[in-house]
Structure 1
Amino acid sequence: MARRKWQGYAGPEVPPAAGTLAVENTSGNRAEHDVAPARSNREQLGTALRFLLGVSGRTVGAVADQAGIPAASLSRLLAGERIPEWPTVFTLATVLHGRPEELRTLWESAKGRTPTAAHSGTTAVARFHNAMRGLHLAAGRPSLSDLGLANGHGAHKQRLLEAALSGDSMADWDDIALLVHHLGGHPGHFRRLWEDVRYSIFTLSVKAVGHGAD
């Protein structure tokens, strides 16, 4: 059943970005934070699955057997050396008691695909939040403190960053880009998803104003 629940998107891969990111601190001075080296798209998917495997406490052989794939193939996937089709990733996430939807954007990026525009605000929000949770998972679910972002921000700002880190909030793009950089991801992969949510919110607001005028 897990292997049947999937959909595909086709599109060009977004070029990666890496380096350091300068951010504004609460005193108004610019502060340089070290940014984790951007991992390849294949590595991000592999590290996310490795994290789930580690949490599960199971062996590669046991998981591969339950998922119905060769252990050697699973080892290559975990190492970022191969990317199977979505049904296999979905099945592995399910076997490891993870959330397949959180791995979807990682898999699309690894395949060199980008999602099409969301058809509804609810879909756009869910897809963006799942993408953030997936990147957080691929980084080993670090805290703001682990990322070096616990200081230099007011309490309100830290709450926004914490919520965005776990995929539970829509923060400004600068905050999202900051988190993506520090998680070792590529902001270009998330900009489109973020813009889809903003566009959906704007569209709903326009419709609400229109109905109010009626």
Structure 2
Amino acid sequence: MQVECPITTTPLERRGSAASERLRAARVLGAALAQLQARSRVSLRDAACRTGLTPSDTVRILSGAHVPPWPVVHLLTRAFQGDPAELRVLWECSRGQVHSPRMSAEGAAGDLAAALRGLHLAAGCPPLDQLAHGDVLSAAAAGLILAGRLLPDWPATARLASALGGRPSDVYVLWQEVHSTVIALYGSFPPPREPGPPLTDVPNRKDP
């Protein structure tokens, strides 16, 4: 009987894979910042003045060639009139960091929606109908997920991340956090509720 040997990787191969993932995430982060810069029409020179960077450093960041500390990304995002929360997870991926868990269902869901909006921004904000995929994800559902008004299951989340040029692994920890938090608080996923109000209006604990 033929027995298949498990595929193993060496520590060097694992380090190389992790470095490759950080480079990919750096390019995604840079693309998101470049989209914000183009949308805001703030010149690179003005952005550099506002953040204390040189114009050449700003270009390197927006090209994905350099990933600065989070305070610099925060300042650049603000300079380009963007929401830093939407770029936080992209920055964490580019640094190989693990996202810090939230304690509330709405906080975890907000982090997931913000991360997906960051991918949407980095992809150039494609129309919703380009993100749809059969019964897994409709255009309307994609819009609600990005707006933070719909808790997606994993197939829809993975499809949306992939359609936006990211990898499902970029947001899996966030989705898992939302799923486990909602199950713990409400006993089911998604939680029982009437459609309509924003997700942030949902209480963060079970009723007694």
Per the normalisation by structure 1, the TM-score is 0.73
Give the aligned partner of residue 144 of structure 2. Answer: 163
2:177 is the alignment partner of 1:196: yes
Q: Look up the match of 1:25.
A: none
Q: What SS does the aligned partner of 1:40 have?
A: helix
Supply the distance in 1 between the matched residues of 2:87 and 2:72 (Cα, whole angstroms).
12
Aligned pairs (5 A) from 1:78-93: 78-93=62-77
Partner of 1:72: 56
CA contact (8 A) 2:128 2:140 kept: no
Q: Mind listing any 5+ residue stretches in structure 1 that lack a counterpart? A: 1-11, 17-38
How many corresponding residue pairs? 174
Tell me which residue corresponds to 1:32.
none
Q: Report the TM-score when normalising by structure 2.
A: 0.75
Is contact 1:132-1:165 (8 Å) kept? Answer: yes
Give the Cα separation in 1 of the matches to 2:18 and 2:159. 17
Alpha-carbon distance in structure 2 between the residues aligned to 1:117 and 1:92: 25
Query: Identity percentage over the alignment?
Result: 31
Asked if 1:185 corresponds to 2:174, the answer is no
User: 2:44: which partner in 1?
Assistant: 60
Q: Which amino acid aligns with 1:76?
A: R
Paired residue secondary structure (1:145): helix
Higher helix share: 2
Q: CA RMSD in A?
A: 2.6
Q: Aligned equivalents of 1:66 and 1:179: distance in 2? A: 34
Shift in Å, 1:180: 0.7
For residue 63 of structure 1, report the CA deviation from its aligned partner.
1.1
- Please, which of 134, 139, 157 is the counterpart of residue 118 of structure 2? 134
Select which of 27, 30, 39 maps to 1:46.
Answer: 30
Answering whether residue 114 of structure 2 is matched by residue 114 of structure 1, we say: no
Q: Which residue in 2 is equivalent to 1:172?
A: 153
* AA at the equivalent of 2:67: I
Change in 2 beyond 3 A, CA 1:63/1:185: same
Map Cα deviations across residues 94-130 of structure 1 (whole Å, 9 max, x no partner): 1111001111000000111121322222221111111
- 8 Å CA contact retained: 1:132, 1:166: no
Q: Secondary structure at the match of 1:66?
A: helix
CA distance in 1, matches of 2:45, 2:93: 27
Distance across 1 between alignment mates of 2:101 and 2:134: 36
Aligned residue in 1 for 2:108: 124
CA distance in 1, matches of 2:158, 2:134: 17
Q: CA deviation at 1:152?
A: 4.4
Gap change, CA 1:97 and 1:187, over 3 Å in 2: same
| 2:174 aligned partner, one-letter code | L
CA contact (8 A) 1:15 1:188 kept: no
Tell me the CA shift for residue 169 of structure 1: 2.0
SS in 2 for 1:62: helix
